[in-house]
Amino acid sequence: MRLEFCWFCSSKIYPGHGIQFVRNDAKIFRFCRSKCHKNFKMKRNPRKVKWTKAYRRLHGKDMTKDSTFELERKRNRPERYDRNVMENTLKAIKKIDKIRHDRAADHIAQRWKPKAAKERREARKELEQSISLIKAPLAIQSQEPAITVPKIKVKAPKQQTVEDQLMEE
Amino acid sequence: MAQYDFKKITVVPTGNDLIDIVLSRTQRQTPTVIHKGNAISRVRQFYMRKVKFTETNFTDKLSKTIEDFPRVEDIHPFYGDLLHVLYNKDHYKLALGQLNTARNLIKRIREDYVKLLKYGDSLYRCKSLKRAALGRMCTVTKRIGPSLAYLEHVRQHMARLPSINTGAPTILICGCPNVGKSSFLNKITRADVEVQPYAFTTKSLFVGHTDYKYLRYQVIDTPGLLDRPLEDRNIIEMCSVTALVNLHAAILFFLDLSGSCGYSISQQAALFHSIKMMFRNNPVLIVCNKTDLQTLEGLSGEDLKLVMEMKSAALKTIPVSTITDEGVMAVKNAACQRLLDQRSERKMKSKKMPTVLNRFHVAMPKPRDQKERPVCIPQAVLEARAEEAAHEERKTEKDIENENGGAGVYSASLRKHYILADDDWKLDILPEFLDGHNVYDFIDPDILQRVEELEREETAVEEDGGDFEMEDEDFTAEAEKDLQEIRKRKKLLIQKHRIKKSTAESRPTVPRKFDKDRKFTTERMGRQLSSLGIDPSRAIERARSRSVSRKGRKRERSVGGDGEDVMEIDGGLDNKKKLRGFKDSAQKMKAVTMARNATKKRNKDARRGEADRVIPTLRPKHLFSGKRSIGKTDRR
């Protein structure tokens, strides 16, 4: 018995689940549930369907290259059973799993980092631009509360026009 | 030497049947249409053909019958005699002879009439000639009717005769009636002959076959013989006599010691002596049957003497009991052996033998000296043989399976023969999955080492302290507060806008100077300006100086008076007030909704009520002028 991976969403297929489709060229497609199977029949490309692992890996959302993946490899040559090796393997699997999990979490955290800086920049910009909603521009603000001065009528000398000036001459 | 097969003789039809057959054939297989207008040669030809055809058919059928029936002289004397016994040779020959004459007669008729037909001058004449010819042939056939019937009878009986191979080694069983011949036959062969206590149960010859030393022997059972002269014998006895006389076989003469067959030993002895001469040079065995009833030793002196006399004429005497099977095989073996010996002798004596013998030569090495030279088998081979014999007691897997309950119950352990570094591991349960991984994908002898490397890597990375983050200057507390204010203000604006949008259907778009709610006041303006940080007093003054006095405004009705409640006499119970005029709350809800829907449009147009009607265009042009494509224009 083997745990296989769904061709569409790359999730694990446990025994007793899913459907296998064998094409005429003898390529086997395994699906974990009818959702993936139906998507396949619709000829959808898993690399374009957002929720699949294939998309996520392709678009860098999930970790792709790591040394932990090399430890898990399908071996075609059977090994002679050795209890010690088996024990070690079982312990190792747990450790490898933990390390892989941590690394994957790191990867995602890395992805989120630039967001903080971006937010700060945007906040700064907003502050600059929309400050006028709460504060009047400095020029008017700094004005003292004015004392009402009575209007004084002052006669202003008639200003000769240029024509008059010319005519005078 | 041949096996005769009388079953192949074709069925002999009766006289009338034969006529019918031939005439219908003639009618079917020759042309039927002729006219008197046709040329005379054609007419003659037509009728001649019919005559010839009929004659041919008759001749064919009769010839076939004559040839199929065996000629008594040509077949083996045994069968010849048998046929004579059963059917009377003379009668048989006569019948066949009659058929022959009939055939010849028919031929003669045909010749005559064909000659006559050659000179027939009219259709009628030819037709009459043909009729005459056919008629005469039929008469001939009718006359041989009885012969045909007899021959058919004979044929049917012949087909049922036992097929005795006259050349094969044979054993013949004879004796008095009821002696035990048929039961003996049943014992040594697979024949199932009727065995009954009355005499003449067996009425004809029966054949069985048995094997001895890879050779097939025929065993023939005959009906019982009585001590009578040959002339007095009946047909049944004659059958057995024929067999005795004509067949070359080992003869087993059965003797009933007890006399329970109904004939005493003396009678049987007399019979024996009378048929002695028929034996000729056939080997004879005397079989003393029914020894369970009376043994040979227990016989009286006279009887014993008679038996001894018989013995002298025969080869052997063997006591037998067919019920207890005692001596049966001995008899058979003795008879068969005797026959075999005789055969070999004959072969040896024949002329061909020396030519065959010349081809054989067994070479024996001449002994050089007196030394004994036995067969030599190497010691190792002997040992191996001994070991193998001892090893036969090895217990196989199959034995174990059978012990533990058979194929469906026990399932063989395939792990028993695994070759592992440590035998304790043979019964280990191997896990296949762990935490969603295939264990077999991880198996590696130095997996621990690699995991250690991995862990070292991890710790190294941690100590590195992760990525160095670029520190942006954080906001000051003031700036933080301002940012929050801005966001709050923006949210409020959005909220207000949304409310406005949702009520846009029923709210009229009215210019500010008609604001009913008196929202746009100077106090409000003052508040807003001061929140921005500006001194509003100058702005308020300016606004006030320009505003229109409120004298000219219409007195507006007060909104939402308590008039109704005051008028209430009882003081007003809540429930009654709520459902005034309505049957129940559902009806009121409906009424309220209808009222609201009606006022929506009016509100949008900023109408004060139903009565607030404004007609913007008193006489729209399109209604008061022009022709109509449908309807009348005399009511404008």
- Distance CA(B332)–CA(B320), nearest Å, equals 11
Residues B144-172 pLDDT 10s? 999 999 999 999 988 888 888 888 889 99
CB proximity list for A128: less than 8 A, separation 6 or greater: none
- Distance CA(B286)–CA(B297), nearest Å, equals 15
* A73 and A46 housed in the same domain: no
* A56 and A68 housed in the same domain: no
* A48 and A69 housed in the same domain: no
**pLDDT the model gives residue B451:** 87
- Nearest by CB: A95 against B451, B479, B534: B451
* A44 and A106 housed in the same domain: no
**pLDDT the model gives residue B50:** 95
Mean pLDDT estimate for chain A: 86
CB proximity list for B149: less than 8 A, separation 6 or greater: B14, B15
The pLDDT of A29-57, averaged and rounded, is 97
Which chain B residues are within 8 Å of A63, Cβ to Cβ? none
* Eight-class DSSP state of B326: B
Which chain A residues are within 8 Å of B425, Cβ to Cβ? 81-83
Contact at CB, B435 and A85, closer than 8 angstroms? no
If one counts every other C-beta atom within 10 angstroms of the C-beta of residue B530, the result is: 13
Pairing of the two strands B206-212 and B215-221: antiparallel
Kindly report the three-state secondary structure assignment for every residue of B474-538. Answer: CCCHHHHHHHHHHHHHHHHHHHHHHHHHHCCCCCCCCCHHHCCCCCCCHHHHHHHHHHHCCCCHH
Q: Kindly indicate the confidence band of residue B405, based on its pLDDT and cuts at 50, 70 and 90.
A: confident
Decide if pLDDT at B493 tops 90.
Answer: yes
- Using CA coordinates, name the residue in chain B closest to A2: B438
Higher pLDDT, A20 or B461: A20
**pLDDT the model gives residue B567:** 52
In order, the DSSP letters of B422-444 are SGGGGGPPPP-EETTEEGGGT--
**B243 with B172: CB under 8 angstroms?**
yes
Cross-strand pairs, B221: B173, B206
**pLDDT the model gives residue B557:** 59
* A54 and A98 housed in the same domain: no
* A102 and A81 housed in the same domain: yes
Q: Domain for residue A142, yes or no?
A: no
Decide if pLDDT at B178 tops 70.
Answer: yes
**pLDDT the model gives residue B556:** 57
Cross-strand pairs, B285: B252, B316
* A7 and A52 housed in the same domain: yes
* A45 and A88 housed in the same domain: no
Residues B514-554 pLDDT 10s? 777 788 888 998 998 888 888 888 888 988 888 766 555 56
Structure tokens at B321: 């009991």
In order, the DSSP letters of A12-79 are EE-TT-SEEEE-TTS-EEEESSHHHHHHHHTT--GGGSTTSHHHHHHTTSS----HHHHHS----SPP
B11/A contact by beta carbon, under 8 A: no
**B171 with B85: CB under 8 angstroms?**
no
**B214 with B194: CB under 8 angstroms?**
no
**pLDDT the model gives residue B29:** 93
**pLDDT the model gives residue B48:** 94
Decide if pLDDT at B287 tops 60.
Answer: yes
Q: Domain for residue A4, yes or no?
A: yes
Contact at CB, A99 and B430, closer than 8 angstroms? no
- Helix then strand count (H, E) for chain A reads 6, 4
Q: Domain for residue A30, yes or no?
A: yes
Please state, in angstroms and as integers, the Cα–Cα distance from residue A95 to each residue in A29, A143, B452, following that order: 31, 71, 10
- Using CA coordinates, name the residue in chain B closest to A131: B486
B511/A contact by beta carbon, under 8 A: no
Please state, in angstroms and as integers, the Cα–Cα distance from residue B74 to each residue in B78, B79, B161, following that order: 11, 10, 18
* A93 and A44 housed in the same domain: no
Place of tokens 């079982």: A90
Residues B549-578 pLDDT 10s? 655 556 655 555 454 555 555 554 566 677
* A100 and A119 housed in the same domain: yes
- Percent of chain B beyond pLDDT 70? 93
**A129-157 core/surface letters (b: 16 or more CB in 10 A; e: else):** ebbebbebeeeeeeeeeeeeeeeeeeeee
* A1 and A21 housed in the same domain: yes
- Nearest by CB: A97 against B422, B435, B450: B435
Q: Domain for residue A146, yes or no?
A: no
A50/B contact by beta carbon, under 8 A: no
Q: Domain for residue A23, yes or no?
A: yes
Name the pTM for this structure: 0.45
Q: Domain for residue A1, yes or no?
A: yes
Angle at B269 between CA B193 and CA B206, to 5 degrees: 15
A117/B contact by beta carbon, under 8 A: yes
- Distance CA(B185)–CA(B635), nearest Å, equals 137
Higher pLDDT, B293 or B595: B595
Decide if pLDDT at A96 tops 60.
Answer: yes
Which value does ipTM take for this structure? 0.74
- Distance CA(B190)–CA(B438), nearest Å, equals 71
Q: Kindly indicate the confidence band of residue B249, based on its pLDDT and cuts at 50, 70 and 90.
A: confident
Highest-confidence range of B54-63, B199-208, B265-274, by mean pLDDT?
B54-63
- Distance CA(B254)–CA(B187), nearest Å, equals 14
Residues B430-481 pLDDT 10s? 899 999 999 999 988 888 888 888 888 888 888 876 555 556 567 788 889 9
Here the CATH number for the domain that contains residue A4 is 2.30.170.20
B422/A contact by beta carbon, under 8 A: yes
Domain span at A20 = 1-60
Q: Domain for residue A114, yes or no?
A: yes
Of the residues A17, A45, A60, which one is the last residue of a structural domain?
A60
**pLDDT the model gives residue A155:** 63
The pLDDT of B389-412, averaged and rounded, is 84
Q: Cα torsion at B88, B90, B93, B94 (round to 10°)?
A: -120
CB proximity list for B438: less than 8 A, separation 6 or greater: A2, A3, A74, B432
**pLDDT the model gives residue A169:** 44
- Distance CA(B213)–CA(B332), nearest Å, equals 12
Higher pLDDT, A44 or B570: A44
Structure tokens at B125: 């004449």
* A43 and A75 housed in the same domain: no
CB proximity list for B254: less than 8 A, separation 6 or greater: B173, B174, B175, B176, B179, B180, B181, B184, B287, B289
- Percent of chain B beyond pLDDT 90? 26
Decide if pLDDT at B231 tops 90.
Answer: no
B431/A contact by beta carbon, under 8 A: yes
B457/A contact by beta carbon, under 8 A: yes
Into how many domains does chain A fold?
2
A55 half-sphere exposure, CB direction, 13 A CA radius: 11
Mean pLDDT estimate for chain B: 85
Please state, in angstroms and as integers, the Cα–Cα distance from residue A140 to each residue in A26, B524, B544, following that order: 82, 19, 21
User: For the CA atoms of chain A, what is the radius of gyration?
Assistant: 38
- Distance CA(B127)–CA(B323), nearest Å, equals 77
Distance in Å, alpha carbon of B471 to nearest chain A alpha carbon? 9
CB proximity list for B126: less than 8 A, separation 6 or greater: B43, B44, B46, B47, B117, B120
**B522 with B537: CB under 8 angstroms?**
no
Q: Domain for residue A153, yes or no?
A: no
- Distance CA(A77)–CA(B443), nearest Å, equals 11
A134/B contact by beta carbon, under 8 A: yes
Please state, in angstroms and as integers, the Cα–Cα distance from residue B424 to each residue in B419, B443, B600, following that order: 11, 20, 91
Higher pLDDT, B562 or B11: B11
Using CA of residue B527, residue B533, residue B536, residue B539, what is the dihedral sign? negative
- Distance CA(B77)–CA(B60), nearest Å, equals 29
The pLDDT of B70-89, averaged and rounded, is 86
Distance in Å, alpha carbon of A149 to nearest chain B alpha carbon? 12
Amino acid at B258: S
Angle at B282 between CA B278 and CA B285, to 5 degrees: 100
Contact at CB, B451 and A81, closer than 8 angstroms? no
**pLDDT the model gives residue B1:** 45
